[in-house]
Amino acid sequence: MAVAATFEIEYLQYLGPDGKPVGALPEHADAARMVELFRQMLFVRTFDSKAIALQRTGKLGTYASCLGHEATHIGIGASMRPEDVFAPSYREYGAQFMRGVHPREVLMYWGGDERGNDFEGPRHDFPWCVPIATQCLHAAGAALAFKLRGEPRVAVTCCGDGGSSKTDTYAAINAAGAYDLPFVQCIINNGWAISVPRKAQTGARTLAQKGLAGGLHCLQVDGNDLFAVLEGMRRAMERALSGEGGSVIEFLTYRLHDHTTADDARRYRDEAEVKAAWEKEPVARLRTWLVDNGHWDEARERAWIEECGRRVDAEIDAYLGTRVQPVEAMFDYLYADPPADLLAQREAAIAREQRA
Ligand SMILES: Cc1ncc(C[n+]2csc(CCOP(=O)(O)OP(=O)(O)O)c2C)c(N)n1
Ligand SMILES: [Mg+2]
């Protein structure tokens, strides 16, 4: 039989679910960096639980939890340089915090204040993108601009397992391969697209292989293993910067919470599956490795968690203290020249506010 082409998808895992190394750690692993990133993982977990509590007490419109995604999100953000560009979807706070987005900005966004998307820190990063996978095209466009201008920068974007089925993701992958762009497509496979499970999502054996047809480098990593996330991203960023082309990385993780606070996953998800996923979660796994190797202990964790609580509370205070925008603001930033029907709605909204 003549074979036209053969392909393989490499899988990276360094720490098993029990926190024990499954083999040699990556050459570039650095214990001090792992401690720092573990602290960031604890910070984002603290933020997440307080954000959910804010929503439950009526102080936030809705919220998409990142519980269980900490290693993937922190690892992606930690692998980028300030001059690179990040195009997230709506859940990757860990990556955004690593890039300098303030927690108060995330809260403003979910509280209905679009100024939360106008990041004070990474001015050139893209805002949250709720229309599924459209951000992948924005990132491919940014990568094309970097190439045309000769700028040594990388565009990194994230979509979910569900998002990886969208035409926009395939189009971004195709453009990145056709134009040989400095582009990294992160596919965060957390098992679910709201109530649609991964197995009903696609016939593909891996989501990483979706990059093969576009000619990109493809890799699947254990997204609950920070070592694997960092090593996968390091390879992809280096390739992009050295002109070797774009990458697709599938991060295997799990959505431990509901899709958003507007969802109740108990209606469609088996409790046993969630219980099994908790056995593989990223925070306990890295903690075990750090403690086993003398880099972390209970007293340090207690002190740091208290500090995280204080820092998040200060961000919450800043969010709650932000002056609410006038009702007409939602009309004022849509068009340079608003159409007549919107102008009429704007007037009606103002009149309604004045009556209230
Ligand atoms: C174009 C479009 N279609 C449908 C939706 C509704 N929607 C919001 S989130 C979501 C599921 C996304 O799942 P996945 O890509 O796996 O990301 P996750 O939420 O798991 O992080 C859907 C269908 C949307 N926001 N945009
Ligand atoms: Mg998903």
For residue 333, what pLDDT is reported?
A: 80
Structural domains in the chain, CATH included, are 10-19+26-325 (3.40.50.970), 330-356 (no CATH)
For residue 168, what pLDDT is reported?
A: 98
The secondary structure element, H or E, covering residue 329 is helix 329-332
This prediction has a pTM of 0.96
**Closest-CA residue to 238 (of 289, 171, 298, 184):** 184
Which residue, judged by its Cα, is nearest atom 13 of ligand 1? 193
First to last CA, the chain: 77
Are 43 and 49 within 8 A, CB to CB?
Answer: no
The CA distance from 236 to 296, in Å, is: 30
| Closest ligand by atom to 89 CA | 1
188 has which bridge partners? 160, 251
Are 68 and 253 within 8 A, CB to CB?
Answer: yes
Chain segment 90-124, per-residue pLDDT in tens? 999 999 999 999 999 999 999 989 899 999 999 99
For residue 324, what pLDDT is reported?
A: 86
Q: Read off the DSSP letter of residue 128.
A: P
Cα(314) to ligand 2 centroid in Å equals 31
Are 252 and 223 within 8 A, CB to CB?
Answer: yes
Whether the predicted pLDDT of 356 surpasses 80:
no
Say which of 33, 81, 124, 268 is annotated catalytic: 268
Q: Count of CB atoms within 10 A of residue 70's CB?
A: 28
